[in-house]
Amino acid sequence: MSKLVERFGPDERFPHMTMAICFILLAVSGMGLFSKDLSFLTAVMGGPFIAKWLHLVAGSVFACCNLYFIFRWRSCMKIKEHDIAWLKEGGGLFSRGAHGKLPPSGRFNGGQKVLFRVTMSLGLLLAVTGLFIWFPKILPKALMAWLYPLHALLALGLMTTMLAHIYMAIWFVPGSFRSMWGDGMVEEAWMKYHHRKYYDYKTTE
């Protein structure tokens, strides 16, 4: 076992945890309130009325976390030249042994930066459309009616993105789950392997 280094601090792990729990609640209640055919999802939560309020409360907390992360990670999510080079190599996602050819990454790699932007944008748009759906009298009805399919489409986008995110975290990249859901630590070798630039920067500090 090599030396451990901190990957995510508590000010990142706990908001992320909050956001993740809200996301699950939002996805389940949201799909349950999407259609009569999916009403078993709201039944699990104690009925559609409770699911509605859970959706509204969890949505509000989610939106706050969304804004928090945009602020918290504003500087380390800037896409740089080496990130574009990383993305051009496909991030080593699609062929075995491709990782070695990748340009070294900073604290977040190109893929994570793209995911961050996509997630934060979808989250914000969902929050805004959701707020109007909560208070449907604000906008004219002709426009308002289209926010429902739009909100559903945005939710589809976020759910597919999150499925990929969860897959990466718990299966594709061993060692990463602990950094966000455990004590925030990773092995030094992990950091060197996945985030070489950041590792070098930290060790030469």
Partner 1 sequence: MAKMGMLVDVTKCIGCRSCMVACKQWNKLPMDKTSFSGTYQNLPDRTFTTWRLVEFQEVTERSGQMNWHMLSHACMHCNDAPCVKACPVPGAMEQSATGYVTVDQKKCIGCKYCMVACPFNIPKYNEVSQTVAKCTFCPSRVENGLTTACSKACPTECITYGKRDDLVAAAKVRVAVMKERYPNVQTYGIDAYGGKGTNVIYVLKEKPEFYGLPKEPSTNAVVVWKDVVKPLTGLGLGATIVGLIAHAAMRGRDDYRQEKGEVEDE
Q: Which of 27, 28, 33 is closest to 133 using CA atoms?
A: 33
Under DSSP, is residue 5 helix (H, G, I), strand (E, B) or coil?
strand
Q: Shortest CA distance to 19 belongs to which of 99, 124, 93?
A: 124
- Count of chain residues binding partner 1 (CB under 8 A): 45
Q: Which is nearer to partner 1, 14 or 172 (CB)?
A: 172
- Is residue 96 a contact residue for partner 1 (CB under 8 A)? yes
Residue bearing tokens 């900073």 = 106
Q: Per-residue string for binding with partner 1, 135-154, x by CB under 8 A?
A: -x----x--xxx-xx--xx-
> With CB under 8 A as the contact rule, which of the stretches 14-22, 61-69, 73-81, 93-101 interacts with partner 1?
93-101
Q: How far apart are CA 160 and CA 157, in angstroms?
A: 5
DSSP state of 46: T
Residue 11 or 35: which CB sits closer to partner 1? 35
Minimum distance of partner 1 from residue 14's CB (angstroms): 26
Q: At what angle do helices 141-167 and 10-32 cross, to 10 degrees?
A: 120
Task: Report if residue 21 touches partner 1, rule: CB under 8 A.
Answer: no
The one-character DSSP state at 97 is T
Burial 143-180 (b: 16+ CB within 10 A, else e): eeeebeeebbebbebbbeebeebeebeeeeeeebebbe
Residues 28, 32, 110, 199: which binds partner 1 (CB under 8 A)?
32
Q: Which is nearer to partner 1, 11 or 57 (CB)?
A: 57
- Of 110, 106, 108, which is closest to residue 86 (Cα–Cα)? 110
Residue 190 sits in the site that holds partner 1 (CB under 8 A): yes
Q: Which is nearer to partner 1, 72 or 178 (by Cβ)?
A: 178
For partner 1, the binding residue among 10, 11, 24, 49 (CB under 8 A) is: 49
Nearer to partner 1, 14 or 49 (CB): 49
CB 22 within 8 A of CB 201: no
The residue ranges that bind partner 1 (CB under 8 A) are 31-36, 39, 42, 48-49, 52, 92-97, 99, 136, 141, 144-146, 148-149, 152-153, 155-156, 159-160, 163-164, 167, 171-175, 187, 189-190, 192-194
